A and B are shown apart, each in its own frame.
Chain A
């Protein structure tokens, strides 16, 4: 990889761009290795354990895919909003409202109707997440309030509200602050026996296809993209910008809500505090690295899930501190983002 022009073949002609994310990832693991050895862990062994924890067995792979389910659907939720340049940082809160919706559906009498119940649970998740996202959307459209601040703060509102419900009205009998279990008919069918991998992963995959079709093939998607790409032009050609913003937030919050409903109906079968380990926030990273493109988001969601599953396994097996596992995740993120920066960097032209 010399950068000298040799006989007219300049380095510029070789396309390095696709390699950058891999190089960045590699560097992250290199630096991570140094930190691991400093902590007295053999880095090569640690990474072997990590890979084993992510892909090493059916169980491990199922665990990775369970995480992929959440990260993919949440990543899509954030992507839809970001594509329209609406900075929805509130996916976590919308997830919790969706989880609440799914729980209520699963506890109600409809939740006992076979086959119909899971469908209603998912729809309820969408509806609750969507409804909760209307708060920042309406504030933005009607009063011009910045959605970043509102969505960030509403995360706390949602978490604390769910916490209140789980300590009060929705608390199951006993010491722990759990909700009661949903009707078994409401649970999402399990794909792999003895694992938590449910058909949620299929719902997430279908959502990716749905988002792709929505954004690139439909009229409403064209409007959403136009508002994101140039809001002035969208307004000028007569598009209803307010409507586009409401629809975008509705879909974004709804998808996050489905993510919450899947956690309830597919994994825990009840609502607990901390049902999401911050999927709504990791999703922001997934959406950014995946370039808000359904294929990109799917790939990034899978790799991030593997990283999460692998480092959890490493922490359980090797007894390395949780903080170390998280450091590794953070390193990957930092390096990939730096790589992105280099991809975007172009020599500045001096302007008068």
Chain B
């Protein structure tokens, strides 16, 4: 281990891995140099996580070899990887919430002393690590009470506790506020300063530029090259990553059409969450026709509840919801839709679609009961098919497995296009779009954004609820921040300040009394 700073400590050569007919990794080469932060960049499904799961012993490659610290190794399980000093922190944490930080960290390790757990010395070691790398955490805290950022620190300490020197982080920033993200990057820096090597999986270009020493780009399972971060730039990386030049992002919102009347008004609404706890508290919002209002916030701060009270899936305890001047508070989802709502739900697989239905059945799910899709009793299959064919071509839905075959096998992007096709062809007055690009690659995400922008031009008011702050900043006209069921502040897009939004997402409202909570759109 006492080699010079430029030695490769991991070398993966010719790695090939297939899942059925899908080639997840195709002859991939990857190397990690001691003391660097190496970003692994690629779109969803490019093969980043597969490659790292191979290095962590979760998958066995069909071909290729792996050298760790100069020695050829076969990794059959994560235990093998950990023994070699490799640990991985997954995107979704693997912690038991009712247990303490110490318990979560030492779980799975054999106690050295007889049968009893040596909590005391574990605590000492955790505090040492915490100090050494600036990972603030209270060892005795219950994990379930910690914020997402703190839980991530627990995951990292859990890895470090096993005396590893190679750390793999899978999309570590996806659940963090901008502030937490910044502190994570500082921690990573101090870790490499002390001799660790880090692999950082991401699909965000800014993160690559912000933290990495080198970057390897993957596309369609192939490694397209490794670059020194200082010698490349975001535009070039983007080109390599998606295989074409990104259309220079959307011309500035045209305001040709903009109604003065709000199409969606939420007035002082309170509602319970699934555990019957008062969660939305006196929430008010207004959206004008021809406007996109972005809702920024950390996951689980009332976004789902907000979408559900608008669409009628959740009861409103007090307050009012008005769509296009019509009171729809606590009406059925059916009648709210009839009032002009389209709703792109958070989860297209679980809520948005019936996976065992065909494309055409999914497309008429919301209108099968009306002319021309049915008569008094019977469905009119020929009319339904005609409509489906039109939507399939209008929305460029690809990979349709057959007119009667279930949509289950289709890709995420095309599934989302089915949802869009159905919802947007209603000529809606209000659109609630909840994480509409989650899990989509850049091309598909761009398509979704363009469709939303087109609806805005048509005069629809759009509520864009997203965990992806970049997405919100990119296409919203105004941005509201939600925290623990309340709106913390509303900003015009051009006045939005990322630091301030980040603080509000974390619930810090100091010195921000001037924000316009009611957010009138008619200025």
A residues at B contact (CB < 8 Å): 217-220, 222, 226, 229-230, 232-240, 349-350, 352
Known contacts A217-B379, A218-B377, A219-B379; is-contact A233 B368 (Cβ 8 Å): no
Taken together as a complex, chains A and B put the C-alpha atoms of A233 and B53 apart, in Å, by 34
Q: Contact: A238 with B366, CB < 8 Å?
A: yes
Smallest distance from the beta carbon of A238 to chain B beta carbons, Å? 3
Other-chain residue from B334, B345, B378 in contact with A240 (beta carbon distance below 8 A)? B334
Given contacts A226-B365, A230-B355, A240-B334, contact A235 B377 (CB under 8 A): no
Residue contacts A-B, CB under 8 angstroms, 14 given: A217-B381, A219-B374, A219-B377, A220-B377, A226-B354, A226-B365, A229-B354, A230-B356, A234-B354, A235-B313, A236-B311, A238-B334, A238-B335, A349-B19
Among A230, A233, A235, A349, max chain B CB count under 10 A is at A233
B49/A352 in contact, CB under 8 A: yes
Residue from A219, A235, A237 whose CB has the most chain B CB atoms within 10 Å: A237
Residues B32-70 near A (CB distance < 8 A): 49, 53, 58-59
In whole angstroms, what is the CA distance A349 to B350 when docked? Answer: 21
- Not counting A234-B354, A238-B334, A350-B59, a sample of 11 additional A-B residue pairs whose C-beta atoms are within 8 angstroms of each other reads A219-B379, A220-B377, A229-B356, A230-B355, A230-B356, A233-B350, A233-B353, A238-B312, A238-B336, A238-B366, A239-B334
Q: B461 within 8 Å of A by Cβ?
A: no
> Measured between C-beta atoms, what is the minimum distance from B460 to chain A in Å?
19
Asked if B357 and A238 make an inter-chain contact with CB atoms under 8 angstroms apart, the answer reads: no
> Across the two chains, which residue of chain A brings its CB closest to B357?
A229
CB distance from B348 to the nearest CB of A (A): 10
The reply to whether A218 and B379 contact each other, CB–CB distance below 8 Å, is: yes
Whether B53 lies near A219 (C-beta < 8 A) is no
For residue B60, which residue of chain A has the nearest CB? Answer: A350
Contacts of A218 in B (CB 8 A): 377-379
Distance between B363 CB and nearest chain A CB, rounded to angstroms: 11
Which residues of B lie under 8 Å from residue A226 when comparing CB positions? 354, 357, 365
Q: B200 contacts the other chain (Cβ, under 8 Å)?
A: no
Q: Is B337 an interface residue (CB 8 A)?
A: yes
Query: Which A residue sits closest to B347, measured CB to CB?
Result: A232
CA distance A352 to B168 in the complex (A): 14
Residues of chain B contacted by A239 (CB below 8 angstroms): 334
Do the beta carbons of A237 and B333 come within 8 Å of each other?
Answer: yes
The verdict on A238 contacting B355 (CB below 8 Å), with A218-B379, A222-B379 known, is: no
Closest to B367 in A: A237
Kindly list the 10 A-B residue pairs having the minimum CB-CB distance in the complex, ordered from nearest: A238-B334, A238-B333, A237-B366, A230-B354, A237-B365, A229-B354, A232-B351, A238-B337, A233-B354, A236-B351
Report the nearest B residue to A213, measured CB to CB.
B378
**Which of B49, B333, B379 lies in contact with A236, CB distance below 8 A?**
B333
B49 to chain A: closest residue by CB:
A352
On whether the beta carbons of B58 and A350 are closer than 8 Å, the reply is yes
0 or 1 for each of B319-332: is its CB under 8 Å from A? (1 = yes): 00000000000001
* Chain B, range 50-106, C-beta contacts under 8 Å to A: 53, 58-59, 90
CB distance from A292 to the nearest CB of B (A): 13
Is B369 part of the binding interface, using a Cβ–Cβ cutoff of 8 Å? yes
* Most B CB within 10 A of own CB, among A217, A230, A350: A230
Residues in chain B near residue A217, CB distance under 8 A = 378-379, 381
> Does B491 interact with chain A (Cβ within 8 Å)?
no
User: What residues on A are CB-neighbors of B90 within 8 Å?
Assistant: 352
Report which residue of B312, B333, B334, B336 has the largest number of chain A beta carbons within 10 angstroms of its beta carbon.
Answer: B333
Q: Does B302 contact A (CB under 8 A)?
A: no
Number of interface residues of B (CB under 8 A): 35
Nearest-neighbour CB distance to chain B for A225, whole angstroms, equals 8
* Residues of A with C-beta under 8 A to B49: 352
Closest to A226 in B: B354
Q: Does B483 reach chain A (CB closer than 8 Å)?
A: no
User: Does B352 lie at the interface of the complex (its beta carbon under 8 Å from any beta carbon of A)?
Assistant: yes
**With A236-B343, A236-B345, A352-B90 given, is the CB distance from A219 to B353 under 8 Å?**
no
- Tell me which residues across on chain B come within 8 A of A240, comparing CB atoms: 332, 334
Q: Are B368 and A222 in contact (CB under 8 A)?
A: yes
Residue pair A219, B378 in contact (C-beta under 8 Å) = yes
Question: Which residues of the other chain, A, contact B379 by a CB distance below 8 angstroms?
Answer: 217-219, 222
Residue of B332, B335, B369 touching A219 (CB-CB under 8 A): B369
Residue interface bits B227-271, CB-to-A below 8 A is 1, else 0: 000000000000000000000000000000000000000000000
Residues of B within 8 A of A350 (CB): 58-59
Chain A residues with Cβ below 8 Å from B19 are 349
A14 to chain B, nearest CB (A): 18
Chain A residues contacting B58 (CB-CB under 8 Å) are 350, 352
Chain B residue with Cβ nearest A217: B378
Closest residue on chain B to residue A220 by CB atoms: B377
Chain A: minimal CB distance from B358 (Å)? 12
Q: What are the residues of chain A within 8 A of B368 when measuring CB–CB?
A: 219, 222
Q: Which residues of A contact B313 (CB under 8 A)?
A: 235-236
Q: Are B332 and A236 in contact (CB under 8 A)?
A: no
In the docked arrangement, what's the CA distance between A222 and B49, Å?
40
User: Which A residues are CB-close (under 8 A) to B369?
Assistant: 219
Quote the shortest CB–CB distance from B396 to chain A (angstroms). 23
A230 contacts across to B, CB distance below 8 A: 350-351, 353-356
Q: With A and B bound together, what is the CA distance between A206 and B455 in angstroms?
A: 49
- A219–B49 CA distance with the chains assembled, in angstroms: 44
B86 to chain A, nearest CB (A): 15
Closest partner residue, chain A, to B334 (CB atom)? A238
- Taking the closest CB of chain B, its distance from the CB of A244, in whole angstroms, is 12
Min CB distance B506 to A, Å, is: 29
A219: chain B residues at CB < 8 Å are 368-369, 374, 377-379
Q: What is the minimal beta-carbon distance from B353 to any residue of chain A, in angstroms?
A: 6
Residues of B within 8 A of A237 (CB): 333, 337, 365-366
Interface 0/1 of B360-380, CB less than 8 Å to A: 010001101100001001110
In the bound complex, residues from chain A placing their C-beta under 8 Å from that of B357 are 226, 229
Complexed CA–CA distance, A110 and B356 (Å):
47
Contact with A along B490-513 (1 / 0, CB 8 A): 000000000000000000000000
CA distance A235 to B332 in the complex (A): 9
For residue A349, which residues in chain B have a CB less than 8 angstroms away from its CB?
Answer: 19
Task: Please determine whether B53 and A352 come into contact, CB atoms closer than 8 angstroms.
Answer: yes
* Closest Cβ neighbor of B361 among chain A residues: A222
Residues of B within 8 A of A352 (CB): 49, 53, 58, 90
In the assembled complex, the Cα of A39 lies from the Cα of B339 at a distance in Å of: 72
Question: Least Cβ distance of A99 to chain B in Å?
Answer: 30
Q: How far is the CA of A240 from the CA of B313 in the complex (A)?
A: 12
Bound CA–CA A352/B91 (angstroms): 10
State the Cβ distance, B434 to closest chain A Cβ, in Å: 11
Least CB distance, A136 to chain B, in whole angstroms? 24
- Complex CA–CA separation, A232 to B378 (angstroms): 24
Q: Which residue of A lies closest to B58 (CB)?
A: A352
Cβ of A216 to closest chain B Cβ, rounded Å: 9
CB distance from B476 to the nearest CB of A (A): 24
B345: A residues at CB distance < 8 A: 236
With A and B bound together, what is the CA distance between A229 and B336 in angstroms? 23
Closest partner residue, chain B, to A216 (CB atom): B379
B377–A236 CB distance below 8 A: no
Give the complex CA separation of A230 and B353 in angstroms: 8
Nearest Cβ in chain A — how far from B17, in angstroms?
12
In the assembled complex, which residues on chain A have CB atoms less than 8 Å from the CB atom of B337? 237-238
Please determine whether A238 and B350 come into contact, CB atoms closer than 8 angstroms: no
Of chain A, the residue at the smallest CB distance from B337 is A238
Q: How far is the CB of B78 from chain A (nearest CB, A)?
A: 10
CB distance from B384 to the nearest CB of A (A): 10
A234 to B369, CA, bound (A): 13
Complex CA–CA separation, A326 to B443 (angstroms): 61
CA distance A232 to B313 in the complex (A): 10
C-alpha gap A262/B345 in the complex (Å) = 48
